[in-house]
């Protein structure tokens, strides 16, 4: 039975019909998410279902009664709506705004009752805004403000709550935070929720019932697994996409390969990928290279401690950068310019570039042949944060990325050694540098730049030295509250410890080296953690996974990896309830590998080992 139901709804602005003969029932006590391309009519539908828009014909029933027959206050006691850009008067405090949610419950002579007080306190607590209650709304960040608006809707205590794009312009952490609050509300109070979202992957994570809208009509509806298909992505979003399980939640995840070259007839946006070539033999890099070279400008530099500096890079080109989801431990290459650069060696893979498909596969080998003083040096880094234009943390008009660089400065400078650290020491705002990273239009499941793949794990162990702190910081920001475990981070000095944000239950331990040998503290901390009864617990958690070849309980003989000749790089997608991710200096990581796998008998299918650098060896 549906509490709220649209029947043969026709909605129009002036004479332009946006929603056509649409019938939709939101299942009671469930979260329904409506998705669709820009201009598909999904927000108009929500406006129609909340009485903000009067239908041309058809109607909406709330608990069997015509929405339009209900008086204003009665409707507001039963149905809450959070519009796309709610406006608050200046100078209103958080508490005042949330208290307004009680207005529909008050009589002709407003009286503040104990019940009102309790409803406001509960709404503040549920949205974790109680500590902000005396603050002015305009002082808050976008994510905090959105939680306050939701608190107001909660204080209204309605059976139905409709939200129009509640996560627009929030960064990923805050998007998840807002949707978690809504999900808790739904699970605890049984509120029937309807949300319009533009992000398909978020919709798949949070929806019980998913509705795809195209050109004002329902294209498909059902569970996320039923609705999210490559065909739907093509027909509704004009997207050529691969569907894979989300590594964090297991819900279906859309991995766009590229925009379809033949846009669906219902899709009004222009295809951003040009298909024209100026030379017959050459093809556009945007369509043919999964890696692009981005010319970045240093927008800001900020020390994070004595050993790490955060660079914020910006560029209009970054519009084409990314993996269409959280970067997690996404690796990219910085190209440190050589002193005698003669040309742009990456011109063919710039977003506006054209490449020769016949020779493209060997571009890296060709690049290595060039004198380093001319071509420069390639160094691997992690994208600490990626902020689109319009993101509240991004004040510029262009997308931004942050990269945190370790300043390991050798007193004796050698050519070609420590070039990235020295560049980071000297670089100033306005300087430019090239970065090789994923082409957002082409990344697919085979894109290997992200290694954190915990699968179904609910307990994680993250181990890293200072070079892995950026990756761990980014991973922690993405982990949901349902994941717990430990992060052990060894850094050169106590001042290098940072505040890392996470909604997860992962406990972060900083291990300042203060002159001790690299990896010593990390080794001791991992051994201590595992000996506190945890190794058995982790093995048990590992054994919870799908049946495997029985290696979990046996102490495996490891083949030796010569870390001076090859890279130590063994990564896996987690099976079972426990997953460990270890990255840093290759010698230290190798010794931890021996301890965890050979001595403690952890299954290698639960653990990813990554030698990020090798003491005494430059990267290339």
Ligand X SMILES: Cc1cc2nc3c(=O)[nH]c(=O)nc-3n(C[C@H](O)[C@H](O)[C@H](O)COP(=O)(O)OP(=O)(O)OC[C@H]3O[C@@H](n4cnc5c(N)ncnc54)[C@H](O)[C@@H]3O)c2cc1C
- Measured from the CB atom, is 424 or 461 closer to ligand X? 424
Site string for ligand X, 469-488 (x = CB under 6 A): -x------------------
The answer to the question of residue 434 lying near ligand X (CB under 6 A) is no
- The rounded distance, in Å, linking the Cα atoms of 598 and 313 is 42
Burial class of residue 57, CB neighbours in 10 A (0-12, 13-18, 19+): exposed
The answer to the question of residue 618 lying near ligand X (CB under 6 A) is yes
Q: Which stretch binds ligand X (CB under 6 A): 20-28, 411-419, 478-486, 553-561?
A: 411-419
Rounded to 5 degrees, what are φ and ψ at 617?
-130, 125
Give 591's contacts (C-beta < 8 A, 6+ positions apart). 519, 523
Burial class of residue 236, CB neighbours in 10 A (0-12, 13-18, 19+): buried
Total number of residues binding ligand X (CB under 6 A)? Answer: 24
- Measured from the CB atom, is 48 or 376 closer to ligand X? 376
- Measured from the CB atom, is 3 or 334 closer to ligand X? 334
- Measured from the CB atom, is 61 or 427 closer to ligand X? 427
The answer to the question of residue 406 lying near ligand X (CB under 6 A) is yes
Give 74's contacts (C-beta < 8 A, 6+ positions apart). 104
The answer to the question of residue 419 lying near ligand X (CB under 6 A) is yes
Q: Which two tokens stand for residue 33?
A: 């998410």
State which of residues 335, 421, 442, 568 lies at the interface with ligand X (CB under 6 A): 421
The answer to the question of residue 331 lying near ligand X (CB under 6 A) is yes
- Measured from the CB atom, is 220 or 573 closer to ligand X? 573
The answer to whether 192 and 29 have CB atoms below 8 angstroms apart is yes
The answer to the question of residue 614 lying near ligand X (CB under 6 A) is yes
Minimum distance of ligand X from residue 620's CB (angstroms): 7
Minimum distance of ligand X from residue 406's CB (angstroms): 3
Rounded to 5 degrees, what are φ and ψ at 610?
-135, 115
Site string for ligand X, 349-388 (x = CB under 6 A): ------------------------------xxxx------
- The rounded distance, in Å, linking the Cα atoms of 463 and 474 is 14
Q: Which stretch binds ligand X (CB under 6 A): 12-20, 393-401, 417-425, 547-555?
A: 417-425
The answer to the question of residue 404 lying near ligand X (CB under 6 A) is yes
- The rounded distance, in Å, linking the Cα atoms of 483 and 487 is 12
Half-sphere exposure of residue 459, counting CA atoms within 13 Å on the CB side? 16
Strand residue runs (E) in 282-347: 283-284, 291-303, 308-314, 331-336
The answer to the question of residue 467 lying near ligand X (CB under 6 A) is yes
Minimum distance of ligand X from residue 501's CB (angstroms): 17
Measured CA to CA in angstroms, residue 43 lies from 2, 29, 67 at distances of: 20, 21, 18
- Measured from the CB atom, is 420 or 541 closer to ligand X? 420
State which of residues 49, 420, 483, 588 lies at the interface with ligand X (CB under 6 A): 420
Burial class of residue 26, CB neighbours in 10 A (0-12, 13-18, 19+): buried
State which of residues 324, 417, 571, 591 lies at the interface with ligand X (CB under 6 A): 417
Q: Which stretch binds ligand X (CB under 6 A): 246-254, 259-267, 416-424, 525-533?
A: 416-424
Minimum distance of ligand X from residue 428's CB (angstroms): 18
- The rounded distance, in Å, linking the Cα atoms of 349 and 347 is 6
The answer to the question of residue 418 lying near ligand X (CB under 6 A) is yes
The answer to whether 435 and 335 have CB atoms below 8 angstroms apart is yes
The answer to the question of residue 590 lying near ligand X (CB under 6 A) is no
The answer to the question of residue 425 lying near ligand X (CB under 6 A) is no
- The rounded distance, in Å, linking the Cα atoms of 510 and 512 is 6
Burial class of residue 64, CB neighbours in 10 A (0-12, 13-18, 19+): exposed
Q: Which residue has the tokens 């596969």?
A: 361
Minimum distance of ligand X from residue 401's CB (angstroms): 11
Q: Which stretch binds ligand X (CB under 6 A): 57-65, 390-398, 404-412, 474-482?
A: 404-412
State which of residues 149, 578, 579, 612 lies at the interface with ligand X (CB under 6 A): 612
- Measured from the CB atom, is 348 or 470 closer to ligand X? 470
Minimum distance of ligand X from residue 357's CB (angstroms): 28
The answer to the question of residue 608 lying near ligand X (CB under 6 A) is no
Q: Which stretch binds ligand X (CB under 6 A): 250-258, 401-409, 482-490, 537-545?
A: 401-409
State which of residues 189, 408, 453, 551 lies at the interface with ligand X (CB under 6 A): 408
- The rounded distance, in Å, linking the Cα atoms of 177 and 171 is 10
Burial class of residue 316, CB neighbours in 10 A (0-12, 13-18, 19+): middle
Burial class of residue 307, CB neighbours in 10 A (0-12, 13-18, 19+): buried
Q: Which helix (H) or strand (E) holds 174?
A: helix 172-189
The answer to the question of residue 561 lying near ligand X (CB under 6 A) is no
The answer to the question of residue 436 lying near ligand X (CB under 6 A) is no
Measured CA to CA in angstroms, residue 147 lies from 127, 128, 129 at distances of: 6, 8, 7
The answer to whether 97 and 123 have CB atoms below 8 angstroms apart is no
Minimum distance of ligand X from residue 478's CB (angstroms): 16
The answer to the question of residue 617 lying near ligand X (CB under 6 A) is yes
- Measured from the CB atom, is 20 or 408 closer to ligand X? 408
Q: Which two tokens stand for residue 159?
A: 């059976």
Residues 30-59 that bind ligand X (CB under 6 A): none
Where does this chain bind ligand X (CB under 6 A)?
331, 379-382, 404-406, 408, 417-421, 467, 470, 612-619
């Amino acid at each position: 039975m549906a509490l709220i139901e649209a029947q043969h709804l026709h909605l129009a602005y002036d004479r332009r019909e946006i929603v056509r003969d649409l019938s939709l029932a939101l299942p009671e006590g469930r979260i329904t998410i409506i998705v669709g391309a820009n201009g598909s009519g999904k927000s108009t539908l929500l406006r129609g279902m909340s009485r903000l828009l009067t239908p041309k014909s058809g109607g909406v029933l709330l608990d069997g009664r015509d929405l339009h027959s209900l008086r204003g206050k009665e409707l507001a006691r039963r149905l809450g709506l959070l519009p796309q850009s709610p406006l608050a008067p200046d100078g209103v405090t958080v508490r005042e705004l949330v208290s307004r949610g009680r207005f529909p419950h008050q009589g002709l002579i407003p009286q503040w009752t104990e019940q009102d007080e309790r409803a406001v306190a509960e709404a503040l607590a549920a949205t974790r805004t109680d500590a902000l209650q005396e603050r002015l709304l305009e002082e808050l960040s976008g994510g905090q403000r959105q939680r306050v608006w939701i608190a107001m809707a909660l204080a209204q205590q309605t059976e139905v709550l409709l939200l129009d794009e509640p996560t627009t312009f929030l960064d990923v952490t805050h998007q998840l935070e807002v949707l978690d609050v809504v999900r808790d509300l739904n699970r605890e109070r049984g509120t029937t929720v309807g949300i319009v979202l533009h992000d398909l992957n978020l919709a798949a994570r949070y929806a019980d019932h998913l509705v795809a809208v195209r050109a004002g009509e329902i294209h498909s509806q059902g569970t996320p697994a039923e609705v999210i298909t490559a065909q739907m992505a093509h027909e509704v979003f004009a997207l050529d996409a691969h569907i894979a399980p989300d590594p964090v939640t297991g819900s279906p995840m859309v991995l766009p390969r590229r925009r379809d070259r033949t846009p669906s007839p219902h899709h009004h946006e222009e295809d951003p990928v040009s298909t024209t070539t100026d030379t017959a033999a050459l093809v556009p890099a945007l369509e043919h290279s999964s890696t692009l070279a981005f010319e970045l400008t240093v927008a800001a530099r900020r020390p994070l401690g004595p050993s790490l500096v955060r660079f914020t890079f910006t560029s209009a080109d970054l519009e084409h950068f990314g993996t269409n989801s959280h970067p997690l431990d996404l690796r990219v290459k910085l190209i440190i310019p050589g002193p005698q650069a003669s040309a742009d060696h990456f011109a063919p893979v710039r977003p506006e570039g054209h490449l020769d498909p016949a020779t493209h596969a060997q571009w890296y080998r060709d690049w290595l042949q060039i004198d380093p003083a001319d071509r420069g040096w390639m160094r691997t880094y992690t994208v600490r944060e990626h902020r689109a234009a319009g993101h509240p943390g991004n004040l510029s008009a262009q997308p931004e990325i942050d990269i945190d660089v370790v300043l390991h400065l050798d007193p004796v400078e050698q050519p070609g050694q420590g070039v990235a650290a020295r560049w980071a020491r000297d670089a100033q705002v306005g300087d430019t540098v090239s970065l090789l990273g994923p082409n957002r239009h082409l990344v697919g499941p085979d894109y290997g730049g992200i290694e954190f793949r915990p699968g179904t794990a609910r307990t994680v162990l993250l181990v890293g030295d200072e070079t892995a702190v950026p990756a761990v910081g980014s991973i922690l920001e993405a982990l949901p509250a349902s994941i717990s475990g430990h992060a052990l981070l060894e850094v050169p000095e106590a001042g290098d410890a940072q505040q890392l944000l996470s909604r997860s239950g992962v406990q972060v331990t900083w291990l300042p080296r203060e002159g001790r040998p690299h990896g010593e503290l990390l080794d001791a901390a991992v051994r201590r953690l595992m000996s506190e009864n945890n190794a058995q617990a982790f093995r048990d958690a590992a054994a919870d996974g799908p049946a495997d070849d029985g290696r979990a309980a046996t102490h495996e003989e490891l083949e030796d990896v010569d870390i001076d000749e090859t890279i130590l790089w063994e990564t896996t997608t987690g099976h079972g309830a426990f997953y460990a991710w270890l990255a840093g200096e290759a010698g230290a990581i190798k010794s931890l590998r021996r301890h965890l796998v050979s001595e403690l008998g952890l299954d290698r299918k639960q653990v990813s080992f990554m030698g990020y650098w090798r003491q005494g060896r430059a990267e290339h």
